[in-house]
Every structure is written in structure tokens, then in C-alpha cells.
Chain A
Amino acid sequence: MEKQQFLHPKVSLAHFFHYRSSSVFVVFVGLVVLFSFFSHRRFISGGNLQILLALGSEFNIVVLGVGILMISGEFDLSVGSIVVFCSFIFIRLFEMGMNLFLAGLITLGVGAILGWLNGLITVKGQIPSFVATLGTMMLWRGMTLLLSQGFSRSFDVMASPTFSRVLTGVIGGVVPVQIVWFAGLALALGLILHFHRFGNWIYATGDNKNAARAMGIKTDRVKTICFILVGVLCALVAMMQIVRVSTFSSRVADGWELKAVAASVVGGTSLMGGIGSMVGVVLGTLIISAIENGLVVLRIPYFWTYTVFGLVIVLSVLFSRYVEARKLKHISKPSETSPGET
């Protein structure tokens, strides 16, 4: 709850509900209670939460970007491929013996360029981002496979202990750094999305592009920046993953593209753009990671994960549609009849 209070400092539960995250929150709490109860609280034990958040943060960070991009009205199906391509670039730079911080910067740069390319193809080529990024998804995964010949490569964590600690360390022996990255990025991006004027442009672009353009917002640039953001986040996650498992594998992040879209949608983001919130996206992706982890804690075979994913996706969206429909009915009445109440 603290986080929501912070993101919406002015008030109140009402404001929070206003941001369409209410139903997501209900689903999230329901899942946590369910998992905790049936796992005899193993689910909420410190050890498990540490695992859940440290592992989950990699995917979660990508979802932050995908969610914002979806609010601006675009898709990115190439996230998994950007992650794997950036991993390859990073491991090659490491093998060349480059200073890791410099290599990290270059990797982030590559991520930004791949994101920018997605934006360029979508915006200048005037083709739907769904198709554009479906193409780049195949392109970058294929390129990585061609370049790496499908072999894994190993990474030495001790090459730069500082670098490793920055990405995958544990603060005070308890808190994995990944969580800090995730929370920090969520907070920063949340502030920008909800309180910075650029955030307003993102919403306007996704909600009514023509209106935004008529009001002088450079919608193409807004979208491209969102694509670049996704690329940079993917590059960051690529490095985190390599440092954590100390290997490069060309299968990394396979299947993330649809999972990330699912997480955003479960978090209340609209596929059509213009609707969504940072709180919702965070909760949505936490729901997805919680399911993955919770089933393991409950000792349910991993096979079930996908079935539960499927159910949760469909049911949560149906649920939020229902809540939405009721809320709209509820709001629209008083607004027409009670004038002048400031």
C-alpha cells in the first residue's frame, strides 16, 4: 500500500480506484492469500520472497517498458529477442576483455538502437508495430543464433565484482539488488508517466493520436522514445541475467514477448492504448511472477503454470471489464446531475 500512497500523494483510495488498478489489486491480493494459505505460509516466507523478486525482477523490468509502450498505443513483440541480442553483444565485449562498465554502456546503447529501429519502422514505415516488431523479433533472435551458432558462452562473475554486485548483489545480506532496480525503475517511470508532462503526452498519444497531434504533441517522437525505453530496459535485463547465471544462452527470454503483453493487460493496460497505470503494470507483472513461483511453492508440477496463466489472463480481464462497466455507470450519473461542486 505504501507505494500507491506515494504515487498518489494527494488522496485516497478513491483516486487509486480511479486509476483502474482496483480490480488488479484485488486479483493480486487474492492470489497472495491463496498461495500463502495453501503453502502454509511458505509463499510469504522471507526466503521465498527473495527468490520470487530476484528472479522475477528481470522479466518485471521489461514489463515496465512494455506497459508504457502499450499506453502510448504500440506493441513490442521483440523484447525477448532484444534481450538475447544484447546478451550476445555483452558477452562478446566481455570476451574481448573490455572494461565491464564500458561494455555495459555499449550494451545499453545497442538496446536503445534496437528500440529506436522498432520505432523508426513503425512510425516512419507507417506499419503496425505488431507486424514491425514481429519481424524484428524473428530478425534479432535469428541474428543471435547465426552469430553464436547456438552455442552457450560462459561469463566470469569475478571479472569485475563491483559490476556484478551492482546488477545482482544482495544489500545487507537480505535484499537482492534486482528488487531495488525494479522498484527504483518502477518509481521513476511511474513518476514520469503520471506526473511529468511527457507522461501526459504518452497518454494523449495512445488515447487520441489526432487530438494529441492537433495540440502540438509530436506523437511520432513520443512513440519512438517509448520504444527506445523498452530497448534500454531489455539491455539492462540482458546483463543482469548473464551476471546471475554466468552464461550466455541463445534461448534466453524466449516467449517473453507475449507474456509481457499479458502481464500489462492483466495490470489493466488497454491493447488500444491510452489506458493503464504504473501501479497496474507493476501489479500485473507481480501477478505473473507470483503464479510462476506460487505453483512451485505449492509443489504443483510446472506443467500447470501455463494453464493457470491462461485462466488468470482471461478471468482477470473479464473481471476488470465488469468492474469498469459498473464504475462507468456509477460515475456518469452524478456528474450530470450535480453541477458546480468543486
Chain B
Amino acid sequence: MKADSIGESRGVLVKMVNIHKWFGKVHALKGVDFEVKHSEIVGLVGDNGAGKSTLIKVLSGVYLAEEGEIFFEGRRANITSPGDARKLGIETVYQEQALAPNMSISRNIFMGREPTKALGFMDKKAMDKASMEALRNIRLDVASPDLLITVLSGGQRQGVAIARVLHFEAKLVIMDEPTIALSIKEAHQVLEFIKQLREENISVIFITHNLYHVFPVAERFVILGSGEKIADVEKKDTSIDHLTELIVREPSRL
């Protein structure tokens, strides 16, 4: 849509400054700075235990950082619960898909935020309509909003999870390993969904091990290692090989 026109002069959507997080004696995040611009897809990569998930959980309100500040749209944000993050427009698509397998698509999309008529009864029509619309927006075709999640493929399930954040007008979508445990074809489908999010002017943080998945879609890459930021590079300045080398190299040698 208008992504390109904004593209040039876009501002910073979220900025995390000097984030520290301890788990008991383990210093999981050692003063990490991290930012995402408007409608930007950032790949957050690094080895296991590098602190990717911890950083993201601080941003989405699951963990509270001991030190550091978060700015959202230029204002200081106090994120102490997932609810706070959601209110700001930060939505997470979890690694373990946050879907209830035996519920229908539309019930899943509106889980916990059901539109209601009188007395808290659900507005099923509105739910179905909005669900189908959100699914169409990411170009996921399903026969009916009443289908149970169980009968969907892995890629389609991620699609439903993505449609959910799209419907609730997220400004920033955090995707934690969205392509893990998917077949090549399904992973490809998910990457297409992510591109659709960008079309809707939504920023995306894409966390993964798999450089081959993130490289084609992301515009910038942030590499974490042992709780520190090792690198922050634009796509045009790097390659998959270069990124791999950065990840494998010990942070102390930089």
C-alpha cells in the first residue's frame, strides 16, 4: 500500500534501551539496546540461550526487566503485563501456537476478546465476518470460520494466529520461531503471511534460528549472543554467510 512512501522517512516505533535481566545469578540480558521502525521487518537471530526470547518477553510484558527503558512511539512505556503490551499494540505470535485445537477458527481469533451483544453473549456473526476478512487480508483461504483448528495444517494455523494479530490492529507483531516444525511448503506460506503484514504497515520482529527463512523477508538483522547485542546490520550490508559467521563467532572476540 503506502509502505514505500513511508519507507524512506519512517520513524522509530519501539526502542528498548540498556535492558538488563537476571534469572537468579544468571545475567540473561546485559544491557541490550534494540529498536524497530514503523512497518519494518527485523530479524532477531542468535544461538540458543543468546537471550532472544528473554528480550522479546520483556517487550511483550511476560518478564519484567531489572534495568532499562522501553519507548513506544516516542513515549516512555511501562510494560508490566502482557495486557499492557497488547494495549499499546504489541502482539505476540507464540512458538507454541496460542491456539486451542478443538475450537473453531473464529472462536480462536477472538479468544478472550469476544465481541458481545447484550449480557456478554457473543456476537457470532461479527466474529465470523471479521475472521474471514482478516484471513483474506493475509491471503489465507479457508472454507469456513467454523472449521476446528485440528483440521488445519501447520502453516494454516500460523496463518490464523497472524490473522488474529492483524484483526486487533497491532502495530508491532512479535513472531517467535513461526516457521519451526513446519514443512518447507508451509514455512513458505508463513513467510508470505509476514509480507502481508508489512503491506498493512505493521512492524514485525521475526525471531528464528533459521537464517534461510528470515533472510528473504527481513530488512534488518539484530544478532544476540550471550545476552549482548553482537551486531545490527541492514540487509544490503550483509549476506547469509556473513550473518552465520557473526552468530558463530564468540562475542568477546569482537
The finding on whether chains A and B are genuine partners in a shared complex, rather than unrelated, reads yes
Residue positions of A touching B, CB distance < 8 A: 10, 15, 18, 191, 195-198, 200-201, 203-204, 207-208, 210-212, 214-217, 270, 274-275, 328, 331-332, 334-336, 338-342
From B25-33, B99-107, B216-224, B245-253, give the one contacting chain A: B99-107
Contact B144 A342 (CB under 8 A): yes
Contact A212 B100 (CB under 8 A): yes
The 8 Å CB contact of B147, one of A197, A203, A212, A335, is A335
Contact A340 B124 (CB under 8 A): no
Contact B100 A211 (CB under 8 A): yes
Contact A335 B142 (CB under 8 A): yes
Contact B152 A335 (CB under 8 A): yes
A157 CB to nearest B CB, Å = 36
Q: How far is the CA of A198 from the CA of B141 in the complex (A)?
A: 29
B82 CB to nearest A CB, Å = 7
Q: How far is the CA of A338 from the CA of B99 in the complex (A)?
A: 23
With A197-B114, A204-B112 in contact, is A328–B151 under 8 Å at CB? yes
Give the residue name and chain of the A residue nearest to B109 (CB). A215
The 8 Å CB contact of B121, one of A15, A195, A201, is A195
Interface size in chain B (residues, C-beta < 8 A)? 37
Q: Does B83 contact A (CB under 8 A)?
A: yes
With A208-B99, A328-B151, A335-B142 in contact, is A216–B107 under 8 Å at CB? no
Q: Which residues from 138 to 196 on chain B have a C-beta closer than 8 Å to any C-beta of chain A?
A: 141-144, 146-148, 150-153
Instruction: Indicate the member of A201, A204, A332, A338 with the most B CB atoms within 10 Å.
Output: A204
Q: How far is the CA of A73 from the CA of B119 in the complex (A)?
A: 25
A16 CB to nearest B CB, Å = 13
* Residues on the A chain within 8 Å of B238, using CB: none
B102 CB to nearest A CB, Å = 5
B67 CB to nearest A CB, Å = 26
Sample 23 A-B pairs with CB under 8 A, ordered by A number.
A18-B146, A195-B122, A195-B124, A197-B121, A200-B111, A200-B122, A201-B112, A203-B100, A203-B102, A204-B107, A207-B103, A210-B98, A211-B111, A212-B112, A214-B82, A214-B92, A214-B98, A216-B83, A275-B102, A335-B143, A335-B147, A338-B143, A339-B142
Q: Which residues from 80 to 127 on chain B have a C-beta closer than 8 Å to any C-beta of chain A?
A: 82-83, 86, 92, 94, 96-103, 107, 110-114, 116, 119-122, 124
